[in-house]
C-alpha cells in the first residue's frame, strides 16, 4: 500500500508537502484548481511515467513549480513515495521509498531508499507491486469507456497486467532476445 507521498517544487506544490494515506480507500477533496489532479500526476511520475502528456505537461520540465506572485520558480521538482509491502517470509511490512527528481535542464534522477538507480529499476519495482504507470493502475475520467472499446489484444495486455504476469512475459522476451 502507499503510505505517503512527498512533493517539493512539483507543479503547484512549491513547498515540501507530505500526504499520508491510510489503509483502504482514500479520497482527495478540495476546490477546483487546488491541486488534486497534480497529486495524481505526481504519483504517476514517481512510479516511472515517461509521457509528459500523461502528467498533463508539455515537457517533463513543466512539472517544476513555475513560480507565482512573490514566489520564484523552483529549480527542481521532487516526488517521493513510500510504499509498504508485506514480506512473504516474515509477514513484516517492508517500507521502500522511491524518489524522482528533475532539474531545470530536464535531467531525471531516481532513487530507491536513497540509492541512485535507473528508471528501469523503479519501473520494475512498481510493476511488481501492481502500481505501474501503464494501463490499469491509474483510471481516469473516460477510461472505463476506453476499456470497453479496446481491441482483444489490448484487453489481454490489461488482464495480464492485472494478474501480475506482465513482468514475467517481459523477462521472457528479454531472454529470447539475448
Ligand atoms: P479540478 O477540481 O478543477 O480538477 P484540481 O484540484 O485537480 O482541480 P489541478 O489540476 O491539480 O487542480 O491543479 C491545477 C493548478 O496547478 C493550476 O492552478 C495550475 O496553474 C497549477 N500548476 C500546474 N502546473 C504548475 C507548475 N508547473 N507550476 C505552478 N503551478 C502549476
Ligand atoms: Mg482535477
Q: Dump pLDDT digits (tens) for 124-145.
A: 888 878 787 665 678 777 778 8
Whether residue 11 has pLDDT greater than 80: yes
Q: How far is the CA of 82 from the centre of ligand 1 (A)?
A: 23
Whether residue 60 has pLDDT greater than 70: yes
Indicate the DSSP class of residue 74: P
Region 31-57: mean pLDDT is 92
Q: What is the dihedral of CA 50, 55, 59, 64, to 10 degrees?
A: -110
Whether residue 98 has pLDDT greater than 70: yes
Q: How far is the CA of 12 from the centre of ligand 1 (A)?
A: 6
Whether residue 4 has pLDDT greater than 80: yes
Whether residue 159 has pLDDT greater than 90: no
Region 20-44: mean pLDDT is 95
Region 112-124: mean pLDDT is 94
What is the value of pTM for the model shown? 0.85
Q: What's residue 88's pLDDT?
A: 66
* DSSP-derived pairing of the beta strands 17-20 and 76-86: unpaired
Pocket-forming residues, ligand 1, beta carbon under 6 Å: 11-12, 30, 32-38, 62, 64-66
Q: What's residue 40's pLDDT?
A: 93
Ligand number with the minimum distance to the CA of 41: 1
Q: Whose CA is nearest to atom 12 of ligand 1?
A: 33
134 φ, ψ to 5°? Answer: -115, -140
Ligand number with the minimum distance to the CA of 31: 1
Contact 2, 47 (CB under 8 A): no
Domains annotated on the chain, with CATH:
2-133 (3.40.50.300), 134-178 (no CATH)
Q: What's residue 136's pLDDT?
A: 67
Whether residue 24 has pLDDT greater than 70: yes
Q: ipTM, 2 decimals?
A: 0.98
Q: What's residue 82's pLDDT?
A: 96
The enclosing H or E element of 152 equals helix 152-163
Which of 12, 53, 55, 66 to probe ligand 1 with, by most ligand atoms within 8 A of CB?
12
Ligand number with the minimum distance to the CA of 140: 2
**Position of cell 536513497?**
114
Burial class of residue 26 in the structure, from the number of CB atoms within 10 Å of its CB (0-12 exposed, 13-18 middle, 19+ buried): exposed
Handedness of CA 85, 91, 93, 98 (dihedral sign): negative
Indicate the DSSP class of residue 73: P
Q: Whose CA is nearest to atom 24 of ligand 1?
A: 11
Contact 2, 55 (CB under 8 A): no
Whether residue 36 has pLDDT greater than 80: yes
Whether residue 38 has pLDDT greater than 70: yes
Amino acid at each position: 500500500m502507499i503510505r505517503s507521498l512527498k512533493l517539493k517544487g512539483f507543479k503547484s506544490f512549491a513547498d515540501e508537502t507530505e500526504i499520508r494515506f491510510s489503509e483502504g480507500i482514500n479520497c482527495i477533496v478540495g476546490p477546483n484548481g487546488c491541486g488534486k489532479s497534480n497529486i495524481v500526476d505526481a504519483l504517476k511520475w514517481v512510479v516511472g511515467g515517461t509521457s509528459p502528456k500523461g502528467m498533463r505537461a508539455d515537457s517533463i520540465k513543466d512539472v517544476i513549480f513555475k513560480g507565482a506572485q512573490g514566489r520564484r520558480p523552483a529549480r527542481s521538482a521532487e516526488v517521493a513515495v513510500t510504499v509498504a509491502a508485506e514480506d512473504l517470509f516474515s509477514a513484516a511490512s517492508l517500507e521502500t521509498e522511491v524518489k524522482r527528481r528533475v532539474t531545470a535542464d530536464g535531467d531525471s534522477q531516481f532513487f530507491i531508499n536513497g540509492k541512485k538507480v535507473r528508471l528501469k529499476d523503479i519501473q520494475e519495482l512498481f510493476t511488481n507491486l501492481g502500481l505501474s504507470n501503464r494501463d490499469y493502475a491509474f483510471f481516469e475520467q473516460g477510461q472505463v469507456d476506453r476499456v470497453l472499446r479496446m481491441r482483444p489484444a489490448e484487453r489481454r495486455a490489461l488482464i495480464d497486467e492485472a494478474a501480475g504476469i506482465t513482468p514475467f512475459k517481459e523477462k521472457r522476451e528479454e531472454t529470447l532476445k539475448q
